[in-house]
Amino acid sequence: MPFGNVLGEVTAKITSVRISELGGGQRRLEIDSTGEVKGQVPGQAFATMIVEGVPGHAVTWTSTGTILAASGAVVRTSGRGVGIRTGEGHKVRYRGGACFATDDPKLAAFNGILAAVEFEIDPATMTSKGTAYEWK
């Protein structure tokens, strides 16, 4: 399946991290972030991402968030996927899919979009940067 247009790019600052032991060497991280979205729906983004797995191995993630669009619209986001360390410091690359929902009639087309997402988190700088693509 090919990727289409870039829907948006986000640059975020991680505001908090909570870590829980799940047993068997597995951990759960809850990562809160806020940042700026550029692209088809520019604005401010807020999200909580949950990462589970064994540190140093592939992990799974889920995310729930909100974009407060510059137009005044509110866009709800949700996503899930997998992540693995990049080999560069403590950075982790995450990839997966995301969906959007909004009650704003001007952005109704986003209600039917499945997006491919790709982003990196750098724990050393507490930053996240990523891109969402239309998934055709």
- Model pLDDT for residues 37-68, shown as the tens digit of each residue: 999 999 999 999 999 999 889 999 999 999 99
**Rounded distance between C-alpha atoms, residue 108 and residue 101, angstroms:** 8
Q: Which domains does the chain have, with CATH numbers?
A: 3-135 (2.40.160.20)
> Would you say residue 1 has pLDDT above 80?
no
State residue 4's pLDDT score. 84
How confident is the model at residue 74, as a pLDDT? 97
20 pLDDT above the threshold of 70: yes
What per-residue confidence (pLDDT) applies to 112? 83
Give the pLDDT of residue 55.
85
Please report, for residues 2, 8, 83, 105, 120, the alpha-carbon distance to residue 60 in angstroms, rounded to integers and kept in the order given. 23, 22, 6, 33, 14
Q: Quote the pLDDT of residue 135.
A: 85
103 burial type by CB count under 10 A (0-12 exposed, 13-18 middle, 19+ buried): exposed
Mean pLDDT score, 12-17: 98
Give the tens place of pLDDT for each residue, 79-129: 999 999 999 989 999 999 999 999 999 999 999 899 999 999 999 999 999
With 90 as the cut, is the pLDDT of residue 73 above it?
A: yes
Residue 2 has pLDDT above 90, yes or no: no
